[in-house]
């Protein structure tokens, strides 16, 4: 992994019969622990993404496209942002194959988590091994 990895939060959703994958990201100074909690920086980025997703809902209803894996958090080398990630996004939008997407992200990422919440509980990051 590059010395300064990039944190990405992505949402897998459907809107108006079309798949979409909005993302939010931030350059990190140090890698996140692959099995631990990615912490407040990931929570802040997730909130920004979720606000953008919520704003999208004014245009047409939204639907999660991948169940519990509809919100993902990952760290990638900076060069993957221009090379691999756009191709992965385009493939998922074309096919909707979430299993293949998660496998490709796992191979690319320095850490991969799903983001969830129990009723009345805090956000939690679940490592995708």
- Tokens (6 digits) for 98: 């979430």
Angle at 102 between CA 125 and CA 27, to 5 degrees: 60
* pLDDT band at residue 97 under the 50/70/90 scheme: very high
List the structure tokens of 28: 């990190």
pLDDT digits (tens, 9 = 90+) for 27-75: 988 777 666 788 889 999 999 999 999 999 999 999 999 999 999 999 9
Tens digit of each residue's pLDDT (9 = 90 or more) over 72-90? 999 998 888 888 999 999 9
Q: Taking the model in full, what pTM does it have? A: 0.89
């Amino acid at each position: 992994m590059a010395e300064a990895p990039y944190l990405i939060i992505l949402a897998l959703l459907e809107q108006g019969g079309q798949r979409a994958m909005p993302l939010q990201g931030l350059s990190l100074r140090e890698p996140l622990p692959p099995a631990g909690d990615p912490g407040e920086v990931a929570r802040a980025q997730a909130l920004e993404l979720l606000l953008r997703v919520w704003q999208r809902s004014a245009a047409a209803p939204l639907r999660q496209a991948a169940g519990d894996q509809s919100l993902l958090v990952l760290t990638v080398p900076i060069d993957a942002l221009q090379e691999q990630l756009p191709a992965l996004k385009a493939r998922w939008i074309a096919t909707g194959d979430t299993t293949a997407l998660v496998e490709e992200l796992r191979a690319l990422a320095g850490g991969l988590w799903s983001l969830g919440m129990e009723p009345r509980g805090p956000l939690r990051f679940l490592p995708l091994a």
